[in-house]
């Protein structure tokens, strides 16, 4: 049974008007959610279960002022796509940002409109694609100053890359094999519980907007705007939670001392 509530979802993401089953309709829905619901992992740090059923996703991401990480954000987006009538399914990817990849621990969506396929991803934190891109090999896609491309990369299948100051940066690799609920459940469990998961030992948040984005990694807040960026360190007290609210719209519903202390830079090898 479809328990998705379209009115509540569209209000949460500030979507203008009706949903059209077109490329522009997909783009509009993608940007609306990306600019409204933040990426964040604070429930993982608070040892709260990360639940992916439609009701739990709606309760956390739509009804409350919270966000989530890829399995939650792209899970909600996939529910929305399917409810509104898009042909869409989940894919799983290996993240390559830090050079050594892990398992398939990132969820995104493959959307088919007519004879074209599109990648949609509203859950990759600070490196989020600004809008869906065509699934076409070696075709550069540009939006809001961001440049992405998909290339062949053995033995991984295909690789999504972003153009940086140092050249093309590998983001994540994926293939088009079937992804079932058990695959997603396993990836989510590892990401939210395993001590080697970056989400278990780091505080992270990100929210894109029309002119840039705001990101948080542990204590470092970075605000990117059209004319540049600024960086500041958040204090280790209640003001940290105030910043979550003001910059990301996150109401954590927890006292600051409930967050586990962070590993120092000396201890974690940075």
Q: Which parts of 143-237 fold into alpha helices (H)?
A: 181-193, 198-201
- 106 carries an active-site annotation: yes
Catalytic residue (one of 15, 70, 79, 170): 70
Nearest to 48 by CA among 254, 232, 224: 254
With CA atoms as reference, report the closest residue to 92 among 147, 156, 161.
Answer: 156
Instruction: Say what the pLDDT of residue 100 is.
Output: 73
pTM of the prediction? 0.94
pLDDT tens sequence across 197-212: 999 999 999 999 998 9
Say whether 232 is catalytic: no
> Helix (H, G, I), strand (E, B), or coil: what is residue 219?
coil
In whole angstroms, what separates CA 109 from the centre of its chain? 11
Is-contact 233 221, C-beta < 8 A? Answer: yes
CATH hierarchy code of domain 6-193: 3.30.2140.20
* Rounded distance between C-alpha atoms, residue 194 and residue 69, angstroms: 15
The candidate with the shortest Cα–Cα distance to 64, out of 207, 245, 256, is 245
Q: Which pLDDT belongs to residue 267? A: 40
* Distances, alpha carbon 221 to alpha carbons 13, 207, 230, in Å: 23, 12, 8
DSSP structure class, residue 243: H
Sign of CA dihedral 124, 210, 57, 59: positive
Report cis status (omega within 30 of 0) of the bond before 155.
yes
Per-residue pLDDT of the chain (270 residues; tens, 9 = 90+): 677 899 999 999 999 889 999 999 999 999 999 999 999 999 999 999 999 999 999 999 999 989 999 999 999 999 999 999 999 999 999 999 877 778 899 999 999 999 999 999 999 987 889 999 999 999 999 999 899 999 999 999 999 999 998 899 999 999 999 999 999 999 999 999 999 999 999 999 999 999 899 999 999 999 998 888 999 999 999 999 999 999 999 999 999 999 999 865 434 332
**Domain ranges for the chain:** 6-193
Q: What is the pLDDT of residues 135-150, one digit of tens each?
A: 999 999 999 989 999 9
pLDDT at 268: 38
Q: Are strands 212-217 and 116-120 parallel, antiparallel or unpaired?
A: unpaired
pLDDT value of position 2? 72
Q: Is 121 a catalytic residue?
A: yes
């Amino acid at each position: 049974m479809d328990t998705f509530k379209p009115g509540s979802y569209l209000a949460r993401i500030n979507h203008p008007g009706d949903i059209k089953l077109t490329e522009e309709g997909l783009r509009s829905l993608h940007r609306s959610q990306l600019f409204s619901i933040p990426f964040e992992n604070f429930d993982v740090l608070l040892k709260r279960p990360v639940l992916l059923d439609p009701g739990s996703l709606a309760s956390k991401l739509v009804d409350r002022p919270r966000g989530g990480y890829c399995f939650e954000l792209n899970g909600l987006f996939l529910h929305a796509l399917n409810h509104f009538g898009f042909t869409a399914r989940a894919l799983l990817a290996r993240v390559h940002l830090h050079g050594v990849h892990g398992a398939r621990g990132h969820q995104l969506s493959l959307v088919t409109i007519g004879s074209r396929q599109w990648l949609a991803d509203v859950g990759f934190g600070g490196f989020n694609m600004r809008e869906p891109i065509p699934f076409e090999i070696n075709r550069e896609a540009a939006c809001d100053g961001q440049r992405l491309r998909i290339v062949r990369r053995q033995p991984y299948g295909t690789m999504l890359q972003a153009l940086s100051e140092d050249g093309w940066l590998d983001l994540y690799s994926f293939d088009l094999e079937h992804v079932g609920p058990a695959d997603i459940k396993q990836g989510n469990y590892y990401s939210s519980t395993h001590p080697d998961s970056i989400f278990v030992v780091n505080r992270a948040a990100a929210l894109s907007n029309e002119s840039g984005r705001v990101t948080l990694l542990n204590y470092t807040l970075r605000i990117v705007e059209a004319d540049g960026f600024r960086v500041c360190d958040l204090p280790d007290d209640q003001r940290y939670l105030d910043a979550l609210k003001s910059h990301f719209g996150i109401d954590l519903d927890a006292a600051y001392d409930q967050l586990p202390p962070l590993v120092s830079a000396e201890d974690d090898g940075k």
